[in-house]
């Protein structure tokens, strides 16, 4: 699900597809004996039928794009069944993108997947869909500057398909980060990064896009215990790079939620805690501690989302076991200045 302007879009896809009629599907289920097995044996006839009618509806609906617009209402655009083969999971604000999945699934940058990868784009406004091809070893990271941010290995010789030879060959490869516009095929090289054994995600140690810039970590292997973050760099859509941190200011800090001008910094203590600690101003580089405490419960206020007018939706209360109970809306600059003058939000109770 993504939002663009006032419209909310929902991409529907089912891993299983069934083109049977409801009558044939229902007769098959009744004949299978599943009605007498757990957990269906405790359901009423009406509940049992409702359960399987829902499954049938899900599996018999083709890939489609739903649009919900306050002015225009709801629309649905069906797409060919071949689009079931794509993981549609990135949006650049006007277009959805997907890569074709192979069976068994492998990441793009792995032995056996070094050839060009088919991908697709679906225009949100028109529902028009088309396919395109990514370069060998290339995969996209996210939407960026109205296009795609992609990552690929560049080597002096073609990468081998043998796993051991491949692992050796990429040690000397360069990780190239590009801005790719599939509409025109235009490609802009943004930055190059050396291969790193600490790049566990095969993405050039990419963290995310914040305030129009792509952020990357520099990592150093700690033998037997993972890695440490050593530096933070950023690059804009024109390929202008900057060093944000060198060295990393706090070993346990990680970049978290996108607050627009501000990046929320969290404390990741080997996954035993994950709490808001500070804000990084992407324009000045200033780090401001988050001092606003929850009104109920323990811990600091944290970001949950952004409203249409740009204000932050923040968690301001929790119960004794940490479940959110209260939210507030506040201007980002006000919050960064330490304000607690948020507007309480009354949540829908159903």
* pLDDT tens over the chain, length 350 residues: 888 778 888 888 877 888 899 999 999 999 999 999 999 999 999 999 999 999 999 999 988 889 998 888 999 999 888 888 888 888 888 889 988 875 433 444 444 455 578 899 998 888 888 999 998 888 899 999 989 999 999 888 888 877 788 888 888 889 999 999 998 999 999 999 988 888 888 888 999 999 999 999 999 988 888 889 999 999 999 999 999 999 999 888 899 889 999 999 988 654 434 567 899 999 999 999 999 999 988 888 999 988 888 899 999 998 888 888 899 999 999 999 999 999 999 877 66
- Specify the pLDDT at position 103: 46
* Angle at the Cα of 29 from the Cα atoms of 27 and 31, rounded to 5 degrees: 70
Q: CA–CA separation, 218 vs 195, rounded Å?
A: 11
d(CA 219, CA 232): 9
- What the block records as the tokens of 245 is 């941190």
Contact 295, 302 (CB under 8 A): no
Tell me the pTM.
0.83
What confidence score (pLDDT) does residue 115 get? 59
Report the distance separating Cα 271 and Cα 254, nearest Å. 11
CA atoms within 13 A on the CB side of 35: 15
Q: Is 82 helix (H, G, I), strand (E, B) or coil?
A: helix
- b/e map of 327-337 (b: 16 or more CB within 10 Å)? bbbbbbeebbe
What's the length of the chain?
350
Instruction: Supply the pLDDT for residue 88.
Output: 85
The whole-number pLDDT of residue 104 equals 39
Give 71-78's long-range contacts (Cβ < 8 A, gap of 24+).
71/6, 72/7, 77/127
Cα gap 330→176, rounded to integer Å? 39
3-state secondary structure labels for all residues of 17-55: CCCCCHHHHHHHHHHHCHHHCCCHHHCCHHHHHHHHHHH
């Amino acid at each position: 699900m993504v939002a663009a302007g006032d419209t909310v879009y929902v991409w529907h896809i089912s891993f299983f597809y069934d083109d049977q009629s409801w009558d044939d599907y229902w007769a098959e289920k009744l004949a299978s004996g599943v009605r007498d097995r757990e957990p269906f044996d405790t359901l009423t006839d009406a509940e049992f039928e409702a359960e399987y009618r829902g499954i049938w509806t899900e599996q018999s609906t083709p890939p489609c794009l739903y649009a919900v617009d306050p002015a225009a209402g709801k629309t649905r655009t069906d797409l060919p069944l071949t689009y079931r083969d794509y993981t549609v999971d990135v949006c650049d604000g006007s277009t959805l993108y997907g890569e074709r999945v192979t069976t068994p699934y492998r990441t793009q940058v792995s032995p056996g997947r070094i050839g060009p990868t088919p991908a697709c784009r679906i225009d949100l406004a028109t529902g028009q869909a088309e396919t395109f091809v990514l370069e060998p070893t290339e995969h996209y990271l996210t939407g960026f500057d109205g296009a795609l941010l992609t990552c690929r290995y560049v080597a002096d010789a073609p990468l081998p398909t043998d796993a051991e030879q491949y692992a050796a060959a990429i040690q000397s490869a360069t990780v190239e980060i590009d801005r790719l516009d599939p509409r025109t095929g235009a490609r802009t090289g943004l930055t190059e990064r050396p291969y790193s054994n600490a790049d566990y995600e095969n993405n050039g140690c990419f963290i995310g896009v914040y305030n129009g810039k792509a952020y990357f970590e520099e990592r150093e292997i700690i033998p037997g215990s993972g890695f440490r973050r050593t530096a933070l760099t950023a690059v804009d859509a024109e390929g202008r790079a900057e060093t944000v941190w060198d060295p990393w200011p706090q070993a346990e800090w990680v970049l978290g939620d996108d607050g627009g001008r501000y990046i929320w910094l969290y404390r990741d203590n080997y996954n035993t805690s994950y709490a808001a600690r500070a804000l990084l101003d992407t324009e000045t580089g200033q780090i401001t501690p988050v001092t606003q405490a929850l009104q109920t419960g323990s811990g600091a206020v944290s970001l949950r989302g952004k409203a249409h007018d740009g204000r932050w939706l923040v968690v301001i209360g929790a119960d004794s076991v940490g479940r959110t109970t209260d939210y507030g809306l506040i201007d980002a600059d006000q919050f960064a200045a330490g304000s607690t003058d948020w507007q309480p939000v009354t949540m829908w109770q159903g």
